[in-house]
Every structure is written in structure tokens, then in C-alpha cells.
Amino acid sequence: MARDAELKTYDGPAGGWGSARSVAGALVRDRAPLKSAAALAKQNKPGGFACVSCAWSKPRDPHVFEFCENGAKATGWELTSKTIGPEFFSRHPLAELETWSDFALEDQGRLTMPMRLNRATDRYEPIAWDAAFKEIGAALKAIEPKRAVFYASGRASLEASYMYQLLARAYGTNSLPDSSNMCHESTSVALPESIGQPVGTVFLEDFDHADCILFFGQNVGSNSPRMLHPLQEARKRGASIITFNPLKERGLERFINPQAPTEMLTGAETTISTQYCQLKAGGDLAALFGMCKALIAMDDRAVAEGLRRVVDADFIREHCHGVEAFKDACRARDWADLEARSGLGRREMGQAAEVYANSKAVIGVYGMGLTQHRLGVDNVQMLMNLLLLRGNVGRPGAGICPVRGHSNVQGQRTVGITEKVKLAPLEKLQELYGFKPPREDGMATVDACKGVIDGEVEAFVSLGGNFLRAVPETGAMEDAWRRLKLSVQIATKLNRSHVVGAKAAYLLPCLGRIEIDRRDGAPQFVSVEDSTSHFHASHGFAEPAADTLTSEPAIIAGIAQAALAANPRIDWAAWAKNYSLVRDAIEATYPSVFPDFNARIETPGGFPKPLAARERSWKTETGKANFVFPQALDEDPDMPARSPNALTLITLRSNDQFNTTVYGYDDRFRGVEGTRMVVLMNAKDIARLSLANGQTVTMRTIADDRLRQVQGFRVTAYDIPEGCVGAYYPECNPLIPLWHHAKVSKVPAAKAIPVTIHG
């Protein structure tokens, strides 16, 4: 529970003793110290399991302990010995559970039995698995398929995800939104247009060869801490790391490897960033234009003086399209405007450009700081333009590296979880299974939200996640959720999406990936894809939390058998028992991506997905890598005229959460302790708006259509650029209008919400 709030200065590095203490504390609190400690030795290892936290690469030669502070917390959270059974639900009606915090709900422990909501008593009651499948099947049959949504959160395995998309399509819908619709969809839209593939181009080994790494809007210390190892190695080799982030994130400043005894004993820190550009939220487009402008000016000078070119002219001639228009656009940009928009000085941008120009192999890393903006797609394309100018793609040590979120979110897309028909293997599914998949696009996340609010969506099935809490416009969503005819939630832990009751609601508890999954007594394993496009096996290790639990594939098969007419070509029951048959089906559907899937899946370090852009083959309309750039740099073209008191709100993750899963109330690196209800503000803004440090305030979105506000946030003076404020997700989600999302990718613009603050 929240303690008295405190803001302390944290002057330790990322990692170090603070991290070791935090892991030990979490394991004890979860009452799973022994089981979890044993599990940690198997984490991200060949023959072990793939961590359920982030998607960062699993190396071929892992460290002795290939896990981090937050991976350890995620393991402890899943392997907790706390469980909830029927007696819990008979004690607590939904009306009461709705008042509980995210932390309190999940902290009850693992769900153990299938439950059905009894609306009359407002309580979940136990139901047998078969009865649940039968009722869900009958309910789905009574609903028009285009009014049903099949959401997936990004953690489920390749096998479960493949079965899930097949269930949805055989049932009759392409409405398969997933968490990447709120996350890296801006990447999936931007990169195909720029370089002809929807994912990054680098492999883990490229980090060994890079001499410069550009870091945009990704908080490595909290969200992908194992990545600090290659960054530390790169720094020790003398590579430059230039960071662009409105906040001084500790992991990007300094790091002590908590697994290196000498570093721990001597306190030998590695400085991570060689230059830290503390730009404004949404200032990246201007900063990237500034760097490109500086680079092009250097190149123009070199041409005029007959010196060595600064851009890679040969690469551009052979491989790129649209460079002249791009160069003109950069030359035409005005420095004063770029400075005002980015919050960076011309010299800072120039200095970064200079380092970039003098580096041989550069990786561009980014996360939500680029994708969760109205111009999120343009942000990604601008970073790609900067890399293209010096041929930093498709050669060792160079390329673009979107750091993915959930541990299999990229893999879910690879096996067909998508609402877009052009990305789905519809012909192949028809050929293999003889049914006609629907041919129109389904709903993405924001469309699904709109559908729920308008009443167009009647059934909502979730493979993991906490949709109701993760999406924008959570106020209107919660009211509308109660009108859903059917909600089916496949989950490990209780969360808000379960306790806001639909007319008919089922809660289906599943095994987690760390647990041994015995089908007919035989242990099965699953597979995942990491952030750098490698597929890995993941073997369950711990005894299940309860023997009433079943696996995600078995639950999907159960629903499919009850909801669909029998199809002799899809043997759901056999698939649910033997996952290698599902892997065969995946291989049959995607022969060029998964050749010899079953034979290769145990490859140490994983086996790679073929990536055309890595080979400098461009699957774009022009057949080249394209310079794509926006004409205007306005973040919020359709926001109402800004009030002079407008601030740009960045929604943040703390170091003690995994998305909507709140492990605790401390954000060690940022010095926030005992609370999440803070709004981080620049001292000058606090004074200008006549507020006081420590004062409790209300935040309101600037928008004409309706009042959106959240209350009870404590003003906290913080090192953040003027005009920007920071506060935690998901507490701030009621502030995000549904229409406040990126163009084309529809990723909610959670990193730039225009707000006013009221005392």
C-alpha cells in the first residue's frame, strides 16, 4: 500500500547495490523467495525460459545471471505463493473490488479457478472449464462476428498467438488489436515505408561493432535493463552514446553491473551517455531536423572545398530515393524555429551531428518517447533519415533498433495477430484450413475502444493484458464496458479489466510461461521472438500455482471447439496437447520465416528471422530506401488554441511497475518514494503558475469536447524542461482523448497530452 510520500534525491547509479536490494525485497514480499531464486538461474538461458518482462535479446553466451532487477521482480510476481480462489470472490463483490488500486488487485496473487460473474450477487463464482467453454461458445455464436474483438497483450507465446488469430479468423473477424497498437505500431507503419520492413534491422552482435549509439526516448535502466550490458561494453570500447530525453534517466547516465563483483565492491561506475540532450517532449522531430541540417551543411562545405564527403554519397546513389527533396527541406528549416521546438541549442544539435559524422557504425535506438506522439510515425522516419544519410543500415554495427515492449509482442505480429488484412496470411489460411477468412480490416485498439463506447462492440475476448486500464479515455471506457454483452479474460492475475463487470463475464486463469506446462503428463515448451528478431524456445520450470490451471493454448482450443463448427483440417484438441504440431502449422503458414521450426528452435541465442533491409534489399514501392519526412512539425494540429498555461504531459513508467502491473510505490531512480500520485514539474513553471512544491492539484486536458481530469496529484519540483510535466501511467489515462493519437498508426499520444494544472 502507499506509504507517506517522499521525494528523495537518488544519487546512486542504475544497477549496483540499490538494484540488488530491490530484487531481494521484491522476492521476499511476493512470498516466493526460493522458487523464484531457483528460477532466476534459468532466466533467458538456452534450455531455460524467456523472461516474462521485456523483450530484450537473449544472448548466445548468456551471463551467469542473465536477468535484471525488473526481470527478477516479474519472475517473483508470477511465481508468488499467494493465490486467490472462490472464497476471495465470495467475500468481495465487484462493486468493492472496483475501488481497489491496481497494486492491491494484482497483489492478491495468482488466479486459480475459472470463474463466471453472477450479476445478481455481483460476485464471481466458480465454473467448470468445460461448462465455461460451452457457455462462451454459445455466447459467441449468438453475436455477429464483426461485433467481437480478440485483444492480445504481447506476452502469449508464438504457439498460443497463432492459435488465437486462427480462432478469431475462423470465427469471422480480423479484429485482433494488440498492445503494439499502443506501443510500436508507429514503427510498424513508419519502417515499411522507409526501408521495407516493419521491424528493426540490428541483431545483438551489432552492439559489439557500433562506435556510436543514439538513444531516443527509451528508458533502458527501468524497461530493458539487460541492454545496459552491451551499452556498458560499448562505452568501455570508447563508443559514444548520445541521449535525447526530457528527463535525466539514471540508466542512461551511469551504471554499475550488479552481477560484477568487483564493480559492486569498488563502486566502479560506467558513464553511459557521452552527451545528454534534455529536449522538450515532442521536440525530437526538430532535433533530428537540426542534426540532419548540420550534417548536410558539413557535406555541402565538403563538396565546395573538394574534401571527403560527410554523407555516404555512394550508398545514397545506389540505395536511396528522395534525398534531394529531403536535403532541401533541411536546408530550408530555420535554426531559431528548430531551437524553440526542440528546446535544444543549435550548438548542442551541431555537436551531436559532429559526433555522428565522425562515427563509422551507428545504431539508432528508440522507444515510447518517439512512438507515442501525434507525429510518432514521422519521428521514426526522421531517425531513419538520419541513419540513411551515412549509410547506417545493413552493415555490421549499424542500423535501427526499436526496443520492443512485451516479451513476445513482436512475435505475435509475426504469427498473424494483426487487424490489418494486408499483413495477415489470409490466402495461406484458406489454403491450409479450407475456410474463407474475412477480407476487411478489423479494429485496432482505438477503433475497438470507440466500438465499445458506441456499443458497436458486443463481445471482448482478451488474451492477457489489462485493456481497460492501458487504453486512453478510461473514464468513458469503464462506463461503456459494463454494457458489453460478453467479456472473456484469459489472465494470470486479477486486474481492473476483470472487476468492471460486463453483462456476462468469464475469468479464465492460465499458467504463466515460467511454469511447467504438462499436457497429458508430457511437459510442453513454447517459443517467443525477441526485440532483435530472434526466435527462442522457453521451457517452464516451476510447479504451477494450482493444479486447476490450464495453458493458454488449451484455453484457446477449448473456446474454439465450442464456438466454431468442426473443421477436419484443424485438430484443436491435438494442438492443445502437443505444441510441436502448432509449430508445424506455423511453419506451413510462413515457410520462409520458420523453415525447420521444430528442429531449430533450441538454437542457443535463438534463430533469426530473415530481414531484407539487413541485406540492403528494400521491399518498398520504389525498391529503394526512402527519405520520408513531414512538412509541418506541429505536434497537435487539431488541438484547440493553447492556453498560456498549457503544459505538455508525459506519461511515465516507474522503476517499480510493468505497465499496469504496479509492483510497489517507489521509483528509485527518480527519487520518488511511497507514492505514484506526483506531477513532476520544472520549478519555474511551479512559480509561474503560482503553485507550491508539495501542493495537491487537479490536471485537466485541454480539449473542447468534454471534461477530462484527474485529481490528487502532488506538485513535485523536478529536473524537467519548462513547459513539460511528467506523471505516471496508468493513473493519467483518463486524460488522453481517444482521438489524440498518431496519424496512421493510431498509437495514443501518451507522451504529449496538453493539460492545465489547477490548485
Ligand X SMILES: Nc1nc2c(c(=O)[nH]1)N[C@H]1C(S)=C(S)[C@@H](COP(=O)(O)OP(=O)(O)OC[C@H]3O[C@@H](n4cnc5c(=O)[nH]c(N)nc54)[C@H](O)[C@@H]3O)O[C@H]1N2
Residues of this chain that interact with ligand X (CB under 6 A) are 53-54, 70, 106, 153-156, 179, 182-183, 216-219, 222-224, 244-247, 249, 281-282, 284, 367-369, 372, 403, 405-406, 463-467, 470, 490-493, 495, 510, 512-513, 552, 650-653, 657-661, 729-730, 732-733, 736, 750-751
Q: Are 41 and 63 in contact (CB under 8 A)?
A: no
219 binds, among Mo ion, ligand X, none (CB under 5 to 8 A by kind): ligand X
650 binds, among Mo ion, ligand X, none (CB under 5 to 8 A by kind): ligand X
CB atoms under 10 Å from CB of 602, counted, come to 15
Phi, psi of 387, rounded to the nearest 5 degrees: -70, -40
Q: Which residues of 5-34 are buried (b: 16+ CB within 10 A; e: fewer)?
A: bebeebebbbbbebbbebbeebbebbebbe
Output the smallest distance, CB 753 to Mo ion, in A: 17
**Nearest to ligand X of 208, 253 (CB atom):** 253
**Nearest to Mo ion of 462, 626 (CB atom):** 462
459 binds, among ligand X, Mo ion, none (CB under 5 to 8 A by kind): none
Determine the size of the site formed for Mo ion (CB under 5 A). 2
d(CA 242, CA 399): 15
CB atoms under 10 Å from CB of 131, counted, come to 12
Q: Are 533 and 410 in contact (CB under 8 A)?
A: yes
User: How many alpha carbons fall within 13 Å on the CB side of residue 723?
Assistant: 15
* Nearest to 183, CA basis, from 363, 399, 409, 496: 409
Q: Are 284 and 370 in contact (CB under 8 A)?
A: yes
Q: What is the DSSP letter of 227?
A: G
Output the smallest distance, CB 18 to ligand X, in A: 15
Residue where the block lists cell 504457439: 159
Output the smallest distance, CB 642 to Mo ion, in A: 29
**Nearest to Mo ion of 225, 438 (CB atom):** 225
Output the smallest distance, CB 565 to ligand X, in A: 26
155 binds, among ligand X, Mo ion, none (CB under 5 to 8 A by kind): ligand X
**Nearest to ligand X of 185, 211 (CB atom):** 185
* CB-closest chain residue to Mo ion: 405
Output the smallest distance, CB 666 to ligand X, in A: 13
70 binds, among ligand X, Mo ion, none (CB under 5 to 8 A by kind): ligand X
Output the smallest distance, CB 307 to ligand X, in A: 32
Output the smallest distance, CB 343 to ligand X, in A: 10
The cell for 186 is: 508507429
Output the smallest distance, CB 432 to Mo ion, in A: 31
Region of residue 41 (left: phi > 0; alpha: psi -120 to 50; beta: else): alpha
The cell for 100 is: 481497489
End-to-end CA distance of the chain: 26
444 binds, among ligand X, Mo ion, none (CB under 5 to 8 A by kind): none
Q: Are 461 and 443 in contact (CB under 8 A)?
A: no
676 binds, among Mo ion, ligand X, none (CB under 5 to 8 A by kind): none
CB atoms under 10 Å from CB of 168, counted, come to 29
Q: Where are the alpha helices (DSSP H) in 434-508?
A: 445-454, 467-470, 474-481, 496-499
* CB-closest chain residue to ligand X: 367
* Nearest to 72, CA basis, from 103, 109, 101, 35: 35
669 binds, among ligand X, Mo ion, none (CB under 5 to 8 A by kind): none
d(CA 609, CA 680): 41
Output the smallest distance, CB 305 to ligand X, in A: 34
**Nearest to ligand X of 43, 223 (CB atom):** 223
**Nearest to Mo ion of 179, 489 (CB atom):** 179
Output the smallest distance, CB 306 to ligand X, in A: 37
* Nearest to 184, CA basis, from 400, 27, 473: 400
User: What single-letter amino acid sits at 449?
Assistant: C
**Nearest to ligand X of 154, 391 (CB atom):** 154
The cell for 176 is: 485482433
Q: Helix 346-357 crosses helix 335-342 at what angle (to 10 degrees)?
A: 100
* Nearest to 213, CA basis, from 192, 228, 196: 228
Output the smallest distance, CB 534 to ligand X, in A: 17
From residue 247 to residue 266, the character string flagging contacts with Mo ion as x (rule: CB under 5 A) and all else as - is --------------------
Q: Helix 158-171 crosses helix 552-563 at what angle (to 10 degrees)?
A: 10
d(CA 740, CA 752): 9
The cell for 664 is: 510497489
**Nearest to ligand X of 244, 607 (CB atom):** 244
509 binds, among Mo ion, ligand X, none (CB under 5 to 8 A by kind): none
**Nearest to Mo ion of 48, 71 (CB atom):** 71
d(CA 755, CA 614): 42
651 binds, among Mo ion, ligand X, none (CB under 5 to 8 A by kind): ligand X
**Nearest to ligand X of 183, 329 (CB atom):** 183
Output the smallest distance, CB 185 to Mo ion, in A: 10
Q: Are 201 and 363 in contact (CB under 8 A)?
A: no
Output the smallest distance, CB 641 to ligand X, in A: 22
**Nearest to ligand X of 316, 750 (CB atom):** 750
Binders of Mo ion among residues 176 to 195 (CB under 5 A) are 183
Output the smallest distance, CB 53 to ligand X, in A: 5
d(CA 340, CA 345): 9
Q: Distance from CA of residue 753 to its chain's centroid? A: 19
CB atoms under 10 Å from CB of 142, counted, come to 11
Output the smallest distance, CB 300 to ligand X, in A: 27
Q: Are 618 and 196 in contact (CB under 8 A)?
A: yes
**Nearest to ligand X of 489, 626 (CB atom):** 489
412 binds, among Mo ion, ligand X, none (CB under 5 to 8 A by kind): none
657 binds, among Mo ion, ligand X, none (CB under 5 to 8 A by kind): ligand X
d(CA 132, CA 127): 6
**Nearest to Mo ion of 405, 501 (CB atom):** 405
d(CA 165, CA 176): 7
d(CA 552, CA 40): 23
Output the smallest distance, CB 645 to Mo ion, in A: 31
d(CA 45, CA 633): 44
d(CA 202, CA 362): 11
**Nearest to ligand X of 150, 590 (CB atom):** 150
**Nearest to ligand X of 174, 660 (CB atom):** 660
d(CA 684, CA 681): 8
Stretch that binds Mo ion, among 339-347, 398-406, 649-657, 724-732 (CB under 5 A): 398-406
249 binds, among Mo ion, ligand X, none (CB under 5 to 8 A by kind): ligand X
Q: Are 721 and 280 in contact (CB under 8 A)?
A: yes
**Nearest to Mo ion of 417, 702 (CB atom):** 417
368 binds, among Mo ion, ligand X, none (CB under 5 to 8 A by kind): ligand X
Output the smallest distance, CB 156 to ligand X, in A: 6
**Nearest to ligand X of 249, 299 (CB atom):** 249
Stretch that binds Mo ion, among 304-312, 357-365, 401-409, 613-621 (CB under 5 A): 401-409
d(CA 691, CA 488): 45
From residue 402 to residue 431, the character string flagging contacts with Mo ion as x (rule: CB under 5 A) and all else as - is ---x--------------------------
Residue where the block lists cell 550508398: 315
Q: Point out which residues bind Mo ion (CB under 5 A).
A: 183, 405
